[in-house]
Structure 1
């Protein structure tokens, strides 16, 4: 009995040209992928997208420090602080700039405003990697004892370092700063050319004027008593800067007590 033979079709071999084309295509795509990855790496490590921050400082802070170039003690610094203050701002925003492709301008503002000298910060994007931050510093309307300052908006701020200032000194608790500053402005407006050098508020209000005069207003009817002081002082010739301090105690009904205290 004859054996059956199976016939198999021979597989056709692919032409070498086809194989080469496939290999070349693969190499082409690989080169594209490697080029893309290399471009990303180079861009990521280049300074092309590195954030560039410029600072615009507003306020009379620099004017004040330029007028006080001498360091009086270890807690008071001079013009050096102006030159280094932007470096302090840079330190505050380092964490925000860690992801250079996703910088939140609002977070820059928030971080910069943590600095005690800063009243307001406004960051804006000038170009994809260029950011300008406008910083409005607190001004100095009053000194808060020897610990801080009160701005013209009635805001208390406590910088780590103090600069010397010839502004009036205010003595009051932290809780009453806003009303204290409002009353200070009211008293100064009433006094006109008589400048307040020191304003103390404890149980009573007391003013020390630049011409070596102390005015005790008490805890009530301060405006009326200050008006009376103005009327009395116009005709008073005994107080001079080189004499002992003149004390006007205005706490008497429709009257006052006058005395001297040693220099």
Structure 2
């Protein structure tokens, strides 16, 4: 028993000596040549990081200069400067250009804004204004894409066409206007008003004051009927015509200013308003 224990101790001691013998060359390699290059690379990387951080700090100076470009009719440079002032605490490199652009586009009459950095501590802002293409109701303005961009305008150009409809129907009314305007212009008639009432009935008003009643059903077909058949009557006797009613299965009727007359026979109107 005692002999077995001694043999086991000698065996364990021999294994430990053998492990130390294997580690000694590795330790000597790191000490003599392997560790120094690794430390050198680490020092170089740290140095580059410090230099990069120093450059960022040096270049990321607070925004100091603002250049504003674009053709202005409604937007003032002061409005732009007031928005940019909220970002002056940011640095040249760290300023959030996307957030600045979004803030600029909240200014009334601003359609699009483009923002870029200008060396060494400025930003350059380019503003594109909305182009008013139509009035919405009594005080709103719509752009050339049929979007309501201003609900309460101080100045309303009266020469603009007027679009009227329930709240939330702006895009629907603008779509009919954009589709009808060039068609009517093609037969020499200017569209001055498009109305959609609460029941869903449509009425157009021409530049000469003649009203075109389209109703609620088959609006595109009725508009085509007006252009193809009724418009020559209106063009020839515009001063005498009050309205043209196309709410019929076929044909139309004309309301005359005085005396009241009917332009042509037609079927009974549908009860669609």
Answer whether TM exceeds 0.5 for this pair: yes
Matched, 1:92 2:86: no
| Contact residue 164 and residue 173 of structure 2 kept, 8 A | no
| SS of corresponding position for 1:97 | coil
Which runs of no fewer than 5 residues in structure 2 stay unpaired?
1-57, 259-273
Corresponding position of 1:233: 231
Corresponding position of 1:56: 69
| SS of corresponding position for 2:243 | strand
**Structure (1 or 2) with the greater helix fraction:** 2
Equivalent positions of 1:34-73 (< 5 A) are: 51-58=64-71, 62=73
Of residues 162, 171, 194 in structure 2, which corresponds to 1:199? 194
In structure 1, what is the Cα distance between the partners aligned to 2:166 and 2:83? 30
| Contact residue 139 and residue 153 of structure 2 kept, 8 A | no
In structure 1, what is the Cα distance between the partners aligned to 2:182 and 2:113? 32
In structure 2, what is the Cα distance between the partners aligned to 1:146 and 1:155? 16
| Contact residue 116 and residue 159 of structure 1 kept, 8 A | no
Equivalent positions of 1:25-174 (< 5 A) are: 51-58=64-71, 62=73, 81=74, 85-101=76-92, 102-158=94-150, 161-165=153-157, 166-174=159-167
Which runs of no fewer than 5 residues in structure 1 stay unpaired?
1-42, 63-80
Of residues 237, 247, 250 in structure 1, which corresponds to 2:243? 247
In structure 2, what is the Cα distance between the partners aligned to 1:105 and 1:175? 32
| Contact residue 64 and residue 122 of structure 2 kept, 8 A | yes
Of residues 182, 190, 193 in structure 1, which corresponds to 2:183? 190
Q: Structure 1 segments of 4 or more deviating over 6 A?
A: none
CA RMSD in angstroms, aligned pairs only: 2.4
How many residues align? The count is: 191
| Contact residue 63 and residue 89 of structure 2 kept, 8 A | no
In structure 1, what is the Cα distance between the partners aligned to 2:168 and 2:156? 24
TM-score normalized by the length of structure 2: 0.63
| Contact residue 148 and residue 162 of structure 1 kept, 8 A | no
| Contact residue 49 and residue 128 of structure 1 kept, 8 A | no
| Contact residue 204 and residue 212 of structure 2 kept, 8 A | yes
Instruction: Give the C-alpha shift of residue 130 in structure 1.
Output: 2.4
